[in-house]
Chain A
């Protein structure tokens, strides 16, 4: 027993030695808190933040929830950062409204809090938000799909493969953006499913993965086997939808569009499995965030939102090798250079 104790305390001491940085100077500390450590999107975000922090001589501390939705761990991380005397926090919140009180504590402690990718609820609970314009991302693929179909767009049969029944903001924005881009009346733009346009065959949810994508596509194909346009919330869902179409031999006459710009997704665009995808830039979000914290540490200036928007737009680009008239896009090759995951 004693031996165990001894070993345990030795291990603890060792861990403590590693945890405390050798050079305890007056470094500017920045915190990065993501939803998980495993999603390639956040992995890329961490890479971007680490590289920029290194360049600017900032000490970066990264935290992440254990699973998507792990709010508790994120609150703990914020408290740790406050205790640590960090200058700023880059936060991808799991629970956008519940985290607000913790964020307020951090701001009261004189820290700059920037929401990355996911806006807080309300959005001004953070000092700034660096994110993809998800509505714009959807709009681009909607415009591309409509332009690619040409006159046939009037008779399209559209399947909408969304994220989750709880209608999280990111899913709603992409969905509604797509419909607007395609030229469909939205109804209430804050929720999907209330549109009356007969071209929409139906909405189903995918959880944003292959399995869900396939099942949702099968369900909608059972409703109407002649679907010819498929909107997908992200590229894994698109890959699943493609499998469902392949199973009934319709993989070549259906247009699939998606959002994300991950490397497997962009490769799928290259092979014509996905017609076009809107690419977002996690690396850029994170490096811009670190720059903003450095600036804030230096002279106290806070980042300004992009003109006309309530957040700082980190940009989005349509990736396709079949550009459509009037819809700006980049080639698959350019997309490959910028992809993540």
Chain B
């Protein structure tokens, strides 16, 4: 920094002898705890990563190769892929200090549109999938429009949309399942995300790969593009963002649309995962996605956290679920521990916040 200033124009020469250090958050106390606190504040995905690694380690020690095998570990990825994708969409919305309760419903409706367009109307699978993606984006647009333009609270908007979309889903599909075998025979493209790659016992479905790529791309976009920074700014303080030239309304609408689109992709991945098109799937995806986001360390108050953390959050839930089942624990224990994790995650979030207070 000092160098570049030195080589600058002449009137800046006077600056050459001034302290070169830029203003920064200095860490005055040297205690271990406060250093840790500082590190956690700088890298919000660190907490869930540590919890994830520790839980893998603990279950690995308890269960041995049954759990610590490429097969079981990639099975966890497969089990969390749907929630992981939906949670990525949820992360975007929560970063803007919003919440999207309609994610699961949009996912299911999109998958139903893909299935019914291909089977009821006989459209080519590619077009049917495209229509499903458009359907998800459109639902997202309505959410975004109502939040940004009509200025309704996101909670209310998406609470309403959740019911509207779910009812539409049931009415439109007549709650009919399209069987896996029919899809396989006539429209295998719908099951695209169910394809898999086997690497030495580790099984990666296209859905899992999509989830990981999606999270990496979103993490990059959020950190390194103007749009990404705008999303954080809008979530942190919409008025300040507005004053500094961010088009808050357009950013919000784009976030909800992208969220809807990602949910539609989740719907496509869902067909790959369960084989069939089932209007009753994914009923709890909204709650599960919020769980992953919260455990992943994204603040429900907006503007803070990383989408990588969300992926770790979803994986933590997956590790607990499979680990406890393999230990032979009653399924209720999983719910209990996930509940503890949610509260602990928010407590840690509050504790980290103190560093900036």
Contacts and interface: CB of A to CB of B under 8 A. Distances in A.
A222 B75 contact: yes
A211 B66 contact: no
B196 interface: yes
B175 A39 contact: yes
Interface stretch (A80-88, A134-142, A182-190, A238-246): A238-246
Given A204-B325, A273-B181, A211 B176 contact: no
Contact of A38 (B75, B82, B170): B170
B179 A267 contact: yes
B274 A243 contact: yes
A39 B174 CA distance: 8
Contacts of B176: 40, 264, 341
Contacts, number: 94
Contacts of B274: 210-211, 213-214, 239-240, 243
Contacts of A219: 321-322, 325-326
Interface string B251-274: 000000000000000000010011
Nearest to A165: B331
Nearest to A240: B274
Contact of A209 (B72, B78, B82, B280): B280
A264 B325 contact: no
A218 interface: yes
Contacts of B170: 37-38
A198 to B, nearest CB: 13
B331 A223 contact: no
B328 A202 contact: yes
Interface residues of A, number: 36
A79 interface: no
A242 B180 contact: yes
Nearest to B285: A211
Contacts of A236: 177, 278, 280
Given A38-B175, A40-B175, A219-B322, A239 B276 contact: yes
Contacts of B331: 165, 204-205
A102 interface: no
B18 interface: no
Interface of A: 37-40, 43, 165, 193, 202, 204-205, 207-211, 213-215, 218-220, 222-223, 236, 239-240, 242-243, 246-247, 264, 267-268, 271, 273, 341
Given A43-B174, A202-B328, A223-B328, 16 more contacts: A37-B170, A193-B330, A204-B331, A210-B177, A210-B275, A211-B282, A220-B325, A236-B177, A236-B278, A236-B280, A240-B274, A243-B180, A243-B274, A243-B275, A264-B177, A268-B179
